[in-house]
Structure 1
Amino acid sequence: MTLDTSGRSPQPASSAAPVRSSPPSIPDVLRGVTLIVAAVLVGGVAWSGNLLTLPLAFAFPALWAWSPSRLNAAQVSLGYFLAASRGLPQGVATYYASDLWPGLLLWIVASFSFIGVHAAVWTGQRGRARSVRYLVAAVLMGLPPFGIIGWAHPLTAAGVLFPGWGWWGLSGAAAGLAMMTSRFWPAAAIALGAFWFWSAATWTHPAPPNGWKGVDLELGQSLGRDGSLDRHSDLIARVRLKAREGSRVIILPESALGIWTPTIERLWRAGLDGSDVSVVAGATMVDAQGYDNVMVAISAERAHVLYRERMPVPVSMWQPWLAWTDQGGGARAHFFANPVAELGGRRIAVLICYEQLIFWPILQSMQYSPEVVIAAGNGWWTAGTSIVAIQKANAASWARLFGVPFVVAFNL
């Protein structure tokens, strides 16, 4: 109490002084910086393209939960995401044949969704609320619209931790992520580490079915752009060689056939005449409104579109604003269409290029119990980056989680 000499009633000393928020303490600052550095390391190592390092991404939820403030949680998310997607600037620069700045700009803009979601759901409240909020962020980043650029999703590692467990393995991985944000994180880390160690020691890569063969090409950016008779004749010759070696279903990369026309169909069917081989190859179907990125199934008897890409690469391929302004052009996104297709009496799930980096296309397909997973891509523009290795690792992890045979075909 303070004594007022004017005779007025004494007032508490604290009421005379305004309450001021104190700046972050040095320990909090050091803690925040340490968490950011750790997030960068986790993102860089987990998404290096080595399939068996994917489970390190399960450390990200713990780093996010330990953040002392919402701002630091955003910084931790930024560090993780930028490190995980570090190949994007160089890849975009190569694709557009330009300098690094457009790629850097796209890289930073693409990170806003990931950072915004994780910063928005962060809470300083401990306990169940924090775990639930992280799971909300995981769901949001897995499904459209945020999931359209939901790269580096930690649940992708479920196939490494729980190979063959299917939906139970995915549920166990989600529970592990939630526990990593709680006070039980040491027990969760030990349990997940044990599964990781066992899986790494006994790992077997998902194999294609008997008679199925994926053919990798090294034709660079000419693939899909060189529509000459010589190019198609060369590809047909490669297919017939694989057929003589015993393959009956042969997968060629995305864009292998270029623009799909009746003339190209007749050429390929004639080239396969006398064989019982089926070819699945990437092509482009163009009309006045835009184009579809597709996989076509061809045999000597018939040819048909097997799959239309659900999620083309945003900006470079999928440009929805062109349709909104009646300009036309750009690749169409078929989102939740054709999750599985039929080929040779088998249900197959197809993932074209970008679809291998995100979460929801493969999970939608797995609801229909496919018997084969096909991963096709045209990754010439990723030279010098780990993007193609990450795509293959992601697709292989999902195939291994559900115990489904796996065929991959890429052009570099």
Structure 2
Amino acid sequence: MPGRSSRSTRDRAHAALLVALAIIVGAVAWSGVVLALPVAMVFPALWALSPSRTVASLVSAGYFLAASRGLPQGVANFYAADLWPGLLLWLAASAAFVAVHAAAWAKGSGWGRQEEGREGRVHPERGRALRYFAATMVMTLPPFGITGWAQPITAAGVLFPDWGWFGLLAAAAGLAMMTSRYWPAAAVALMSFWFSSAANWTALSLAQGWKGVDLELGQSLGRDTSFERHRVLIATAIRNAGDGIRFIVLPESALGFWTPTVERLWKEALRGHDITVIAGAAVLEPAGYDNVLVAISAERSQILYRERMPVPVSMWQPWKDWTGEGGGASAHLFANPVFEDDGIRVAPLICYEQLLVWPALQSMLGSPDILVATGNGWWTTGTSIVAIQRASAIAWAKLFGLPLVLAFNT
């Protein structure tokens, strides 16, 4: 009995340590510092070390909740309410991540397990890697990928800058090795790449002729549709032109609703200026609206991109379509991953898409020339959400060696 009690105490202590480490890993990796992203690569090891499905669930929950810790405050800011709605959404969003990783964990995943035979059985080392890879794929692609935040694979851009798809494969192999008994060697190898990258880290290359403009207009951006506000935005765009700049990028929602009146106002104001403004707007549709990027110059205007994945609940509300009520933002999922303007292929990521994996990778399949990331993060005050969005966009641009244009409103 004393021996059993002592072993039970050790097991509880072991489980508590794993959960505590998972919380630290989630908080540090997703702090908004791009060079901290590789810390997330520790999560697969903690998951594989879990002695039971319950502990694996707790480890997954600790990591995800810590990584997405800004959500409750952000939701409270957005709805001008208390923290309770945000807390409920935070817990609900973590449920998919926990459920998938708990389901992928299997009894006997402990690293001390031996192979039980050779009659076609999968070796436990390979089994763990395959199960983790399966969980990652499920959380990367829709429908689970819709809330697939905090994916460790995002760190590929920090570990293997300019490696492109080979870097993504190298990061995937590193994550698989972190689930094996050889995780210390894998950790040392990943750390060596991390330190080398950090030592040689350089600023992102600038897109020639492009400039992103950050704004600090708070929640009034997109809601104040007055003539005076448009005049301010037009003046801001023109002021940032010059020195070979031909494209000015403004944040998500900058123009409010895209209407013929707004179109005429901007085209007339840009007459005599050899620039194209790319800005966020909303286009009304019969069943709701599209969150878009539009291009405007003195000669033309057009919708370049319709957002693939708006923010669930606050923007994307599919239940309204099911009930016939309508009114939410449309999700175009796998549509228009790359647009072309003046011969330049652009990979666009609007706001929430920067927290996910599949929109970025789908855009990279289109061989873009630059990456453009915009957002309207007024509601993230007091959180690190915008910093995480920026870090993620930088990581993807670094991985594929692309110039990056950022434009955020706070």
Say yes or no: TM over 0.5: yes
Q: Does 1:45 align with 2:28?
A: yes
Aligned to 1:349: 347
Aligned to 2:399: 401
Partner Cα distance (1:108, 1:48) in 2: 19
Aligned to 1:250: 248
**How many pairs align?**
392
Out of 278, 281, 301, which is 1:280 matched to?
A: 278
5+ residue gaps, structure 1, are 1-20
Partner Cα distance (2:10, 2:179) in 1: 21
- Quote how far apart the aligned CAs of 1:22 are: 9.8
- Quote how far apart the aligned CAs of 1:225 are: 0.4
Partner Cα distance (1:24, 1:376) in 2: 53
Instruction: Say which is worse superposed, 288-297 or 237-246, in terms of deviation.
Output: 237-246
Percent identity over the alignment is 65
Partner Cα distance (1:23, 1:137) in 2: 34
Partner Cα distance (1:78, 1:44) in 2: 12
Aligned to 2:58: 75
User: Contact 1:207/1:407 (CA < 8 Å) preserved in 2?
Assistant: no
- Quote how far apart the aligned CAs of 1:138 are: 0.7
Out of 381, 390, 393, which is 1:392 matched to?
A: 390
Aligned to 1:62: 45
Aligned to 2:309: 311
5+ residue gaps, structure 2, are 110-123
Q: Please give the root-mean-square deviation of Cα atoms over the aligned residues, in Å.
A: 1.2
Aligned to 2:166: 168
Out of 54, 67, 75, which is 1:92 matched to?
A: 75
The runs of 4+ residues in structure 1 deviating greater than 3 Å are: 21-24
Residue identity matched to 2:367: S
- Quote how far apart the aligned CAs of 1:391 are: 0.2
Q: Secondary structure at the match of 1:25?
A: helix
Instruction: Say which is worse superposed, 85-94 or 246-255, in terms of deviation.
Output: 246-255
Q: Does 1:362 align with 2:345?
A: no
Q: Does 1:213 align with 2:211?
A: yes
Q: Secondary structure at the match of 1:328?
A: coil
Q: Does 1:149 align with 2:147?
A: yes
After superposition, where does 1:106-185 map in structure 2 within 5 Å? 106-123=89-106, 124-125=108-109, 126-185=124-183
User: Contact 1:93/1:100 (CA < 8 Å) preserved in 2?
Assistant: yes
Aligned to 1:264: 262
In structure 2, relative to structure 1, the CA distance for the partners of 1:22 and 1:119 (3 Å cut) is: farther
User: Contact 1:205/1:396 (CA < 8 Å) preserved in 2?
Assistant: no
- Quote how far apart the aligned CAs of 1:215 are: 0.2
Partner Cα distance (2:159, 2:245) in 1: 32
Partner Cα distance (1:68, 1:283) in 2: 50
Residue identity matched to 1:108: L
Partner Cα distance (1:396, 1:205) in 2: 10
Partner Cα distance (2:5, 2:126) in 1: 28
Q: Does 1:27 align with 2:25?
A: no
Instruction: Say which is worse superposed, 226-235 or 244-253, in terms of deviation.
Output: 244-253
Deviations, residues 88-144 of structure 1 (Å, cap 9, x unaligned): 000000000000111001000100000000000102234211111001111111100
- Quote how far apart the aligned CAs of 1:24 are: 7.0
What is the TM-score of this pair, normalised by structure 2?
0.94
User: Contact 1:51/1:397 (CA < 8 Å) preserved in 2?
Assistant: yes
Q: Secondary structure at the match of 1:204?
A: coil
Q: Secondary structure at the match of 2:303?
A: strand
Aligned to 2:299: 301
Partner Cα distance (1:44, 1:220) in 2: 26
User: Contact 1:205/1:400 (CA < 8 Å) preserved in 2?
Assistant: no
What is the TM-score of this pair, normalised by structure 1?
0.94
- Quote how far apart the aligned CAs of 1:287 are: 2.5
Of the two, which has the highest radius of gyration? Answer: 1
